[in-house]
Amino acid sequence: MAGKVKTWVWVVVGIVVVGVLFVIAGAAAGVYFISRNLETRTVTHADAATEFDAVRARFADQKPLIELDERGELLRSNTDRPAPPDARRPETLYVMAFDPDDGGLVKMSIPFWLLRFKSKDPTINFGRDAMSLDELKLTVEDLERFGPTLVLDQRNRGGDRILVWTQ
């Protein structure tokens, strides 16, 4: 009888150890993902403007899919515009945000597979605020239909700026 209890204990200990290893592996994967897809640095106002202008120049003739007011409230969603006939599916959603108070520039890339994976109600974090795609009247399918496009170019009264685009 002592042998059966001992075997059972080892099985439970083995399961617990494997569970802990899975948790550690998940945490390591999360840290790796964030380190590869998030960049933060301090820049001058002029340097930030140059970076925003360089990205915005790629979409010079495009109206953003989402327009927000100075407080970040949804003004309109321009998803009724015609999609380009040769649009390829975007692979990544990019977010670039600048806070002039501390000079912080944040660049984040989100792979589209992750947006599709969390297609129930994905959210985009705009600094201190987060909005779901539903609140923005936008879906992952809309983003895919338009291909590489300008999603949002927003500035508020305090000088904060957010640019979101797909590629």
For 57-100, the pLDDT digits (tens) are 999 888 899 888 888 788 888 888 888 888 899 999 999 999 99
Mean pLDDT of all residues in the chain?
Answer: 85
pLDDT reported for residue 120 = 57
**Residue 122 and residue 55 share a domain:** yes
Same domain for 80 and 6: no
Confidence of residue 152 (pLDDT cuts 50, 70, 90): very high
φ, ψ for residue 34 (rounded to 5)? -65, -40
Tokens of 114: 């992750």
pLDDT range class, residue 44, cuts 50, 70, 90: very high
Rounded-to-integer distance, Cα 116 and Cα 23, Å: 24
Both 112 and 161 in one domain: the answer is yes
Identify any residues that bridge with 42 across adjacent strands, giving them in sequence order.
104
**3-class SS of residue 41:** strand
Judge if 74 and 106 occupy the same domain.
Answer: yes
Structural domains of the chain, count: 2
136 and 62 belong to one structural domain: yes
Q: What is the pLDDT of residues 3-36, one digit of tens each?
A: 555 788 889 999 999 999 999 999 999 899 888 9
The CA distance from 167 to 95, in Å, is: 11
Q: Same domain, yes or no, for 122 and 92?
A: yes
Whether the per-residue pLDDT at 135 is higher than 70: the answer is no
Domain enclosing residue 82, as ranges: 43-166
Q: What's the angle, vertex CA 74, arms to CA 34 and CA 127, rounded to 5? A: 25
What is the rounded distance in angstroms from the CA atom of residue 68 to the CA atom of residue 66?
Answer: 7
**Same domain membership, residue 52 and residue 134:** yes
pTM: 0.78
106 and 135, same domain (yes or no): yes
Is residue 18 located within the same domain as residue 62? no
Both 52 and 34 in one domain: the answer is no
